[in-house]
Structure 1
Amino acid sequence: MTPSASEIKNPPSGAGDELLAIDCQELYYSFQEGLESALNGATLQLPRGARCLLVGANGVLYVYSGDIAIDEPTRSAGKSTLLRILAGKRLTKSRDCRILGQDVFMNPPNGVVYLGTEWSSNPVVRSDIVVSDFLDSVGGYRHKARRDRLLNILDVDLDWHMHQISDGERRRVQLCMGLMGEWDVLLLDEVTVDLDVLVRSDLVNFLVEESTVRKATIVYATHIFDGLRAFPTHICHLQLGATPTPLLTWDPADRTTELFDIALGWIRTDRDLRREKERAAGRARGAREETRDAKTFFEKYDYSH
Structure 2
Amino acid sequence: MASGWRLLVQNGALQEHDPGQVTSFLRSHPEGAFTVTRTADRGARLLLWERHLARLAQSLRLLRTGTFSPSPSSHSLPELLNPSLRAGLGEALKRRSEKEELAVTVHLRHSDERSLDVSVHISSFVPAIVVNTASVAVMGPSRPLPLAKSSQWVSARQVLEQCKPENATEVVLSNDGQHLLEGSISNFFVVLSSDGRVTVKTAALENGVLPGTIRQLVIEICHDTSIPVSETSPSWDERSSWKEAFVTNSLSLIQPVRSIKMPVPWNANFDPKQWSQSTWQPLHLMTNGDVTQMLQVGVARCLKL
TM-score (norm 1): 0.24
TM-score (norm 2): 0.24
1 or 2 for the larger relative contact order (CA 8 Å, sep ≥6)?
A: 1
Larger radius of gyration: 1
Question: In proportion to residue count, which structure has more strand?
Answer: 2
Question: In proportion to residue count, which structure has more helix?
Answer: 1
